[in-house]
Amino acid sequence: MTEEEEEIQEEQPEKADSSELIEAANKAADRLEAGNKELKKLLEQQQKVIVEKTFGGEAEAGVKRKTKEQKAQEAAEKMLAGTGMAEYAFPNAKTDSSYN
């Protein structure tokens, strides 16, 4: 065999490896494209849900927010509920018995 034939035979396995790499890259690109399409569908669904929530009356607009003090008092009332101490600590607060 001549030197040229040996070089050709050495190059051929590299071409086979490179074609395998190209095929693997193409498959990966196809998977990425499919994933992007699915992500786009999910994003559109999420946007529709946000619009429906906003115009469906579930938005936070017009909702009166509680102050830190109100939140702290409610947390304390929940903690003391059922201990018998809630009536002494918060005499004006609603108790479970007032709901019956």
User: Residue 76's Cα: distance from chain center in Å?
Assistant: 32
What is the SS3 assignment for 57? coil
Q: Residue 51 is part of which domain span?
A: 1-63
56/72 same-domain check: no
User: Residue 91's Cα: distance from chain center in Å?
Assistant: 43
| Integer Cα distance of 97 and 52 in angstroms | 39
Q: What share of the chain is helix, strand, coil (3-state, %, to 5)?
A: 75, 0, 25
59/70 same-domain check: no
Give the predicted TM-score (pTM) of the model: 0.39
Residue 45 amino acid letter: Q
| Integer Cα distance of 94 and 68 in angstroms | 19
pLDDT tens profile 6-26: 666 666 555 557 888 999 999
30/72 same-domain check: no
pLDDT tens profile 44-95: 999 999 888 878 765 566 677 888 988 988 888 888 877 777 677 777 766 5
